[in-house]
Structure 1
Amino acid sequence: MNTYNPIVALLVFFGVILILYFIFNPKKGLFFKYLKARKETEKTAIEDVLKLLYHDPKTSISTIFDELDFSHSLLLESIDTMLETGLVKKEHELFSLTKEGDEYALRIVRAHRLWEKYLSEKTGFHKTEWHSRAEKKEHELSGEEVEDLSTLLGNPRYDPHGDPIPTKAGQIPEKKGMLLADLPILNFGKIIHIEDEPTSIYKQILAKHIHLHSQVYMKEISENRIVFESEGEQFVLPPIVAKNITVISLDKADVVETDTLRLSNLENKQKATIIGVSKECRGENRRRLLDLGFVKGATVSIDLLNPLGDPKAFLIKGTAIALRKDQAVKILITKA
C-alpha cells in the first residue's frame, strides 16, 4: 500500500529548509553565531595572554593556566597562534612579548585604563566595578573608538587608580613613588596609586576610605602593621594590604593638610569651613556635592544626628543636607 503523501513531503522539505536557514543564515544563523562567538573568545584569550605577559614578563605556561580563566586547550591554541604571528617568543619554557606583542599589549592596556577613567568620570558605577567592566570593554573597543574616548576625556595621563595611560604612540610615563611601607617614620607623603588587584585587598582599602591624592603622615612601621594619619584619621593596615598603596615623599613646605579633617569627623555643635571636595570624588558625584553647596569657604555644621550613625544631616547655607559617610569622607574641612 502506497502511503506517500505529497503534501506531507512538501511540509517536511520546507521544514528542513527552515531549520537549515536558522542554522546557516550568514548573519543570524546559529552556526555563524557560534563561529563569531568562538572568534571573539579566541581574540579575548590572545589579548588577555598578551596583557598578562606585559605585566609579568617571562611567564611559564603553568602561570598562564593559573591566572587566566580559559580552557587549557584554548590557551595553548592561542599561544601557538601568537608564536606563529610573532607576538610572543619562548625561551627556556618561559614566554615573553616581542616588540610587536608589546605594542599590541599596550593598546589593550590603553583601552582598559581609558575605560576605567570614563567609568569614574562619566558614570555612577562604584569603583569596585570599574576593573571588571573595563576587562570586558577593552576587547570590544576599536582603535578609532579608543581615540574618540581619549579625546572625550581630555587625553588623560593617568587612570582613576593612578596607573599611567599609554599614549596612542605606545609611550607610557615612568612610574614614580615608593611603597607606603617605605615612607620613613615621621615623614609626610601623598598617595599616588592604589592597586586594584587582588580585589579582596582593594576592597579592604576602600572599606577604610583611603583615597588617592590624600596626604599621609607615617607614625609606625613594623612587621605586623603600618600606622599612618591622613585627613584627621588614623589608619592601621597589615603590610600585605599596605603593599598596594604607592606614595611620593613630601617636603614640609609641600604639606597643606596638617589641619585638614573629613566632614565625617565633624562633631555635634562644632562648625567648620570647607576646604574643598577630595579629588577622589569625580564626575556626577562631585558635581552633585558642589551643587548642594559644599564649596570652598562655606561654613558647615551638623544639623541632625542619626541614632544609627548614617546618614547625618549637615547644615550648609541655611539648608539641611543628608549625607552618607562614604560621601562625607570626601569633603575636606578645617574647624572654624
Structure 2
Amino acid sequence: MAYLLFRPTKGWFWIIKNNYISNEKIIIEDILKLLFHSENDGNTLTISEIPSQLKFKTVAVQNSIENMVLNNLIKVENEKISLTDNGREYALRIIRVHRLWEKFLAEKTGYNKLEWHERAEQKEHQLSSEEADLLATELGEPKFDPHGDPIPSQTGKMAILDGVPLSSLPVYTVGKIVHIEDEPEVAYKQILAENIHIGSHIKVLENNDTRITFYAEGEEFKLSPKVAENLTIAVVEKHDIDEKKLVRLTSLKENETATIIGLSKESRGENRRRLLDLGFVKGAKVSIDLLNPLKEPTAYLIKGTTIALRNNQASNILIKKTN
C-alpha cells in the first residue's frame, strides 16, 4: 500500500505534490497535520470537530475527508478519525518541510519571528520531498527547528523533546528552556515581548494560580500559568549550573567588567555573524564605554574598539561579570 501511495509520479502523494497547489491538496495536508498533532497529544478527533479547527468551508473539508478515506490516508470508526500508516508518513513529510523552512527563515533571512510560522505554512504545500532534502543538507541536517520542535528525518524519525511545561514546575526547580510553542499566537507574542530566549537556564522563584516567576540570565520574568505552558523546560540538577553567574550583557553597569561566555541561541544567521565579526566572541573582555541618556544604544568597549548596541542585540550576548 505504501508503494501505491508514494510510487513515482503516479502515487497519491506525488500526484497532489506535482500538480498546482490546489485547494483540496492544502485541505488534505492540513487535516493530516491536525490529526498527527492531535494523536501525539493523546486525543482523538471526530468528523464534526475537524472543520471548526481549520479555515476552510465545512463542505470542502468533508469532501476531502471522503477522498482521504478512499486513498487510505485516514480511517473512520464511529465518527472518530485516525491516521493510517500511510497518512502518518505523509503528515511527517509535511511537518518536515514546515520545520525545515522555519529553520531556514531563522538562519538565512531577516524575517521577524512572528512571520516564520505563516510563511512556513505556505511553503510546506509547495516544496517537494527532494527539495526538502536539499534544504536539510544546506542547513546541516538540523534535528530541531528554531522553536525547539524536532524535525523529522527523511525516514520519519524524530529526536525526542525531553522536558515538561514551565507551569508544572515547583519553586526552586532549575532547568533549561528547550522549546517555545508558537501557538496560540497571543501567548507567543507575550513570550517574545518579554524577551525570553530558548536555551536559557532558569530557576523557578514562584508558582501559583495567578503567576509564575522565574530567573534567567540575570533577569526576572513573570508569566501567567497559561502562557507558561508554552515553555518546555528540561530539568537539571542544581549543581549542574550556577544560574547567577551567566547573565546578559544588558545587565552590565558602569565601572563593571565582564568576560563574554557566548551568544544566545536567539542570535542567529547574519545577526550572529555580525556580533562575532565585531569581536563579541568567547573569552573577550567587555565593559561600558558610554551610556546613552535615552537608554539605548549603549557603547561597549571590546578589544580596544567602541561598539554601540541596542538592548535587543546586547541581550543576546551572555557574560560573566569579573568585578
Normalising by structure 2, report the TM-score: 0.89
Matched, 1:56 2:56: no
| 3-state SS in 2 of match to 1:136 | helix
Equivalent residue, structure 2, for 1:287: 273
Equivalent positions of 1:119-158 (< 5 A) are 119-158=105-144
* Greater percentage in helix: 1
| 3-state SS in 1 of match to 2:183 | coil
Paired residues of 1:45 and 1:78 also in contact (CA < 8 A): yes
Bigger shift: residues 105-114 or 69-78: 69-78
Equivalent residue, structure 2, for 1:24: none
Report the Cα offset of residue 172 of structure 1: 1.9
Listed as ranges, the gaps of 5+ residues in structure 1 are 1-35
How many residues align? The count is: 301
Paired residues of 1:274 and 1:296 also in contact (CA < 8 A): yes
Q: 1:261 is aligned with what amino acid?
A: V
Question: What is the rounded CA distance, in whole Å, between the counterparts of 1:310 and 1:135 in structure 2?
Answer: 36
Report the Cα offset of residue 317 of structure 1: 1.9
Q: Any idea what the Cα deviations from partners look like across 1:29-70, whole Å, max 9, x if unmatched? A: xxxxxxx99852211111001101111132123432222111
| 3-state SS in 2 of match to 1:219 | strand
| 3-state SS in 1 of match to 2:235 | strand
Q: Give structure 1 regions of 4+ aligned residues with deviation exceeding 6 angstroms.
A: none
Equivalent residue, structure 2, for 1:249: 235
Report the Cα offset of residue 129 of structure 1: 1.2
Question: What is the rounded CA distance, in whole Å, between the counterparts of 1:292 and 1:237 in structure 2?
Answer: 34
Q: 1:60 to 1:307 in 2, by over 3 A?
A: farther
Paired residues of 1:314 and 1:323 also in contact (CA < 8 A): yes
Equivalent residue, structure 2, for 1:298: 284
Bigger shift: residues 60-69 or 99-108: 60-69
Matched, 1:82 2:68: yes
Q: Which of 86, 96, 100 is the aligned partner of 1:114?
A: 100
Question: What is the rounded CA distance, in whole Å, between the counterparts of 1:247 and 1:280 in structure 2?
Answer: 16
Equivalent residue, structure 1, for 2:221: 235
Question: What is the rounded CA distance, in whole Å, between the counterparts of 1:42 and 1:324 in structure 2?
Answer: 46
Question: What is the rounded CA distance, in whole Å, between the counterparts of 2:21 and 2:316 in structure 1?
Answer: 44
Equivalent residue, structure 2, for 1:171: 157
| 3-state SS in 2 of match to 1:56 | helix
Q: 2:141 is aligned with what amino acid?
A: N
Q: Any idea what the Cα deviations from partners look like across 1:252-300, whole Å, max 9, x if unmatched? A: 3321543111111112232222111112211111111000111112222
Q: 1:37 to 1:105 in 2, by over 3 A?
A: closer
Equivalent positions of 1:94-105 (< 5 A) are 94-105=80-91
| 3-state SS in 2 of match to 1:63 | coil
Aligned alpha-carbon RMSD (Å): 1.7
Equivalent residue, structure 2, for 1:270: 256
Equivalent residue, structure 1, for 2:27: 45
Report the Cα offset of residue 204 of structure 1: 0.5
Report the Cα offset of residue 141 of structure 1: 0.4
Equivalent pairs: percent with the same residue?
A: 55
Q: 1:38 to 1:168 in 2, by over 3 A?
A: closer
Paired residues of 2:259 and 2:285 also in contact (CA < 8 A): yes
Report the Cα offset of residue 315 of structure 1: 1.9
Equivalent residue, structure 2, for 1:20: none
Report the Cα offset of residue 71 of structure 1: 1.8
Q: 1:198 to 1:94 in 2, by over 3 A?
A: same
Paired residues of 1:121 and 1:283 also in contact (CA < 8 A): yes
Equivalent residue, structure 1, for 2:183: 197
Paired residues of 1:183 and 1:189 also in contact (CA < 8 A): no
Q: 1:172 is aligned with what amino acid?
A: M
Question: What is the rounded CA distance, in whole Å, between the counterparts of 1:67 and 1:47 in structure 2?
Answer: 13
Paired residues of 2:262 and 2:317 also in contact (CA < 8 A): yes
Matched, 1:331 2:313: no
